[in-house]
Amino acid sequence: MTESGAIFDPGYTCKQVEDDAFEVVFPYSFGGLTLAAATLLAGRTCPEKRFRSSHLWFLRGTPVDQPFRIEIERVRDGRLLSHRRVRMLHEGKLLCELTASYTAPGQGANIPSARPDEGIPMPEDLPTAAETARAEGWDRWEEQDYEWRFVGRPFANSQMKTSKWHAWVRPTKPFVTEDAMHASAFAYMSDNHSDWAAGLMIEKFEHDNFISLDNAIWAHRPLIWNDWWLCSSVCDIGLDGAMYTRRQVFTRNGELVASIAQEAIHIDPL
């Protein structure tokens, strides 16, 4: 989104046309881009609270290089919690719908969080994604908004004995201080490589045949993202093509930042 001072910019354009309504043009179709736009616009209507959770349903693909409409509904604003509903519409059809929750900071009790698996190397001890791509013979690898460091060889079509894989990821540049922008960038990342966990277990896996159905995010801590975070992914079940993937995201110090759940469908190639 093009605007002054924003570092995270996945390239779409956005123009406000009414109160809580926007005209948006995407340069490409990707679930992470849909998540990023919906999360950013919803968060900007609730700047006094922090992003807590969201659930987005992908109903139809977003058009490319064509304007469509995003509407924000302010469902509730309470002392502790606020809720928003986001609808993306094109030619009278609902493309996707997101519900998001926001919370006031410093409320309630605390318990210790889950910890990452032991023995995972630090990002500085791992090759860059470009180095890994060259070693694996990938045709190309582009890093723009994020830098990845993969632990081991979590690559689709390798038919591993487990679907779990780990990677460190961070923004390539620091973000502005706006909380909604951090949450938007995290939402975009949540769909990046989400198909790999399923792909590790499928003999004839095709990325183009992997279609996201819905995505849920729970932010356990404020999403202030200016360092490496560890993303651990696992596919718990795949049945009749429906793949359920969980992701946990940890700080460098092993604190659980967020949890992600996503369901997608993999259509067998003809």
Is position 114 within any domain?
no
pLDDT in tens, 76-88: 999 999 999 999 9
Is position 202 within any domain?
yes
Domain CATH code at residue 23: 2.40.160.210
Domain residue limits at 209:
13-105+122-266
Amino acid at 186: F
Is position 245 within any domain?
yes
Cα(192)–Cα(194) distance, rounded to whole angstroms? 5
pLDDT in tens, 36-46: 999 999 999 99
Is position 175 within any domain?
yes
Quote the number of domains for the chain: 1
Is position 5 within any domain?
no
pLDDT in tens, 177-211: 788 999 999 999 999 888 888 877 777 666 667 78
Two structure tokens written together for 69? 């409409």
Is position 167 within any domain?
yes
Contacts of 108 (CB under 8 A, 6+ apart): none
Is position 204 within any domain?
yes
Q: Give pTM, 2 decimals.
A: 0.90
The β-bridge partners of 16 are 22
The answer to whether residue 154 scores a pLDDT higher than 80 is: no
Cα(143)–Cα(185) distance, rounded to whole angstroms? 14
Is position 4 within any domain?
no
Two structure tokens written together for 209? 């045949």
Cα(230)–Cα(247) distance, rounded to whole angstroms? 10
Contacts of 197 (CB under 8 A, 6+ apart): 163, 164, 165, 233, 234, 235, 243, 245
In this predicted structure, what is the pLDDT of residue 153?
A: 67
> What is the DSSP annotation of 156-222?
TTS--S---EEEEEEESSPPPS-HHHHHHHHHHHHTTTTTHHHHTT-TT--GGGEEEEEEEEEESS-
The β-bridge partners of 260 are 217, 247
